A and B are shown apart, each in its own frame.
Chain A
């Protein structure tokens, strides 16, 4: 059973970019493993490191946001439009989670990434553009001070904008099914397996015979 996710709190790293694609999140050359663990080391690899020729170890790029000490421990990442576009590789949320992120706050997300993130209990939080812009500014000027609270059940994000006295609370959308999965730690495979009767019934009554591929003789299959 996955761990329930109900409340998250912490600082955030501002990644002020749109269309952060999965090839940036984890370049394809790191997809040759057969386990989910340990991919944090490859996260944003070509942004975190500067190549040093083919034979030397690369250098850390001090300008990249995650290499700045102020953001090193942040559990949240803030980004622009269309975060996670590109491939369906679940290595992207695995790498983000393994690195230590618990939620991504962005203006919008790519569909497949959003799905993959939720399945790994990495919370995709879509917030209105002005809120994200405020967060970028605040996080860049006062990285340590900004503590963001995310309440899953209430579907809200709370933080203290630098230029105001009070707190700002913003609602975010979350599909009710996903919300239950997060709050209760539902295992989706188990959930669907519990509907085995309905699946059996579909296969008996509705799966057309022409849809079942013939078993080919080995000569053709090879």
Chain B
């Protein structure tokens, strides 16, 4: 297999992965056929695709490259007992049945590897550099942290991959996001991605694959990188990538599904050729300086409506464009925020720490560093929902569950939970939720819910103060250093 294209022109990471997966080239009136190395499946978007395969009288072409778990609609309390929601129970039962019929390995509720699909895949070593990964979920972009081309697909495409292990694709444009400098104390990968989305906008990445680059990105742990790539879709990009390096290889080595022995050596030499060539050309480049960033919080109803915690809620009267003004007015009205009000001191009713964005071990450690020896403020309901069984077990082994429980947080079973509010974990109408998830759309956390997105440390701080605070001011340097050493 040759890794150079026929003209020997410098290539980006994206172009290299693309090229390595071409089953047939793109023609004028036909898309490329792209091979898919990993297909991750969950209960919500798969049933109609399995049914389609059944109707066609087909089998899965590669059940050995397909892996399933359940995460979206499962309860995070009493998973083994009777479920309150019969429809969710039926959907999960359908997944169990489908996996049995079609021979798909399933990490179900009885598995120590069950978890949010984007937390589980990397943990198991299923997510490999240079691979193509799809899942019927838009946050599949998470896996791009490993230098994998990973993107969300719809149910028709799930059926297509089931049948053919391929997808019909047209190439995307490439956007480099260059982040120089170092993230200051108290500022995390979550703050960085919120700043990036605020800069390029929720539609800014449409049609692009993003590649996050630069000193500040290289310095991130794998978990921080996953947080960054996770929210690429929130900027409209189907995929986000980070070139693999020693941090990546170190994380993967020894994971259950990672290659071993000679295959590990072969894989490594292949992976080392993946980073974008020095003079590769991107269609667009955006520069950010990490040194100037502060903890970020969203104030509106889409993720680009985000500001540094020291800022105040913007005033629609100062917005020239009438459409944008109207959008802002409507968002602030929904959120119950007043123009010009400082973001700090905004009270919160609920705190949610979890999701595929920030439900990994480092996130929980960062939140615990803030919550240690503290109490959740009176009247605040605070939930910690680990991203997977593995995260939960490791956190318990470190005693983080005790830190949270002593502080008055609820410690739950793994799942998507209040990120999407399908399983009964909901924010009540009008309540404000400090959330480490990825979407602040109207009603995302339950009808009438008001979501403020932020990092795990900021959310934990909001829980103990009952309002938004600037962790750089309200917590000592040593606590902030503890947060930083945990990645979050």
**B residues contacting the other copy or chain, number (CB 8 A):** 86
- Whether, in the assembled complex, A222 has its beta carbon less than 8 Å from a beta carbon of chain B, the answer is yes
B87 within 8 A of A: yes
B344 contacts across to A, CB distance below 8 A: none
Taking CB atoms, residues of chain A closer than 8 Å to B260 are 214
Binary A-proximity of B383-413 (CB < 8 A = 1, otherwise 0) = 0000000000000000000000000000000
Q: Report B364 CB to chain A, min CB distance, Å.
A: 24
Known pairs A35-B51, A36-B48; A119 contacts B156 (CB<8 A): yes
Candidate in A32, A80, A82, A89 with the most chain B CB atoms within 10 angstroms: A32
Tell me whether A19 and B447 are in contact (CB under 8 A): no
How far in angstroms is the closest Cβ of chain A from B18? 13
Select which of B153, B164, B263, B439 is within 8 A of A209 by beta carbon. Answer: B263
Indicate whether A198 sits within 8 Å of B126 (C-beta atoms), given known contacts A210-B264, A211-B131, A222-B112.
no
**Contact at B447–A51, with CB atoms within 8 Å?**
yes
**CA–CA, A40 and B177, complex, Å:** 39
B155 → A minimal CB distance (Å): 4
Q: Is the interface of B mostly helix, strand, loop or mixed?
A: loop
Please report the number of residue pairs spanning A and B whose Cβ atoms sit closer than 8 angstroms: 208
Task: Say which one of A64-72, A147-155, A172-180 lies at the interface with B.
Answer: A172-180
Given contacts A115-B154, A119-B154, contact A21 B73 (CB under 8 A): no
A215–B64 Cα gap in the complex (Å)?
8
Contacting residues of chain A (96-126) with chain B, CB-CB under 8 angstroms: 108, 110-112, 115-116, 119-120
Q: Indicate if the CB atoms of A34 and B91 lie closer than 8 Å.
A: yes
Stretch at the interface among A6-14, A23-31, A162-170: A23-31
Instruction: Give the residue of B128, B203, B444 whose beta carbon is less than 8 angstroms from that of A85.
Output: B203
Taking CB atoms, residues of chain B closer than 8 Å to A210 are 128, 259, 263-264, 266-267, 270
For residue B293, CB closer than 8 A to chain A, the reply is: no
- Within 8 Å by CB of A90, from B37, B156, B236, B420, lies B156
Between A90, A205, A214, the greatest number of chain B beta carbons within 10 A of the residue's beta carbon is seen for: A90
Q: Is the CB of A23 within 8 A of B166?
A: no
Known: A19-B302, A189-B56, A207-B35. A220 touches B256 (CB 8 A): yes
CB contacts under 8 Å to A, within B286-326, are 302, 323
* Closest residue of A by beta carbon distance from B112: A222
Q: List 25 A-B contacts (CB under 8 A).
A: A23-B443, A24-B443, A28-B420, A29-B422, A31-B44, A32-B73, A85-B203, A85-B236, A87-B152, A88-B153, A90-B154, A110-B236, A112-B152, A112-B154, A119-B157, A176-B28, A189-B164, A192-B160, A192-B164, A196-B164, A198-B33, A211-B37, A221-B111, A222-B110, A222-B113
Known contacts A19-B202, A88-B154, A93-B154; 13 additional CB pairs below 8 A are A28-B72, A28-B444, A32-B87, A82-B206, A89-B154, A90-B45, A110-B236, A119-B154, A189-B164, A199-B61, A207-B37, A210-B266, A220-B256
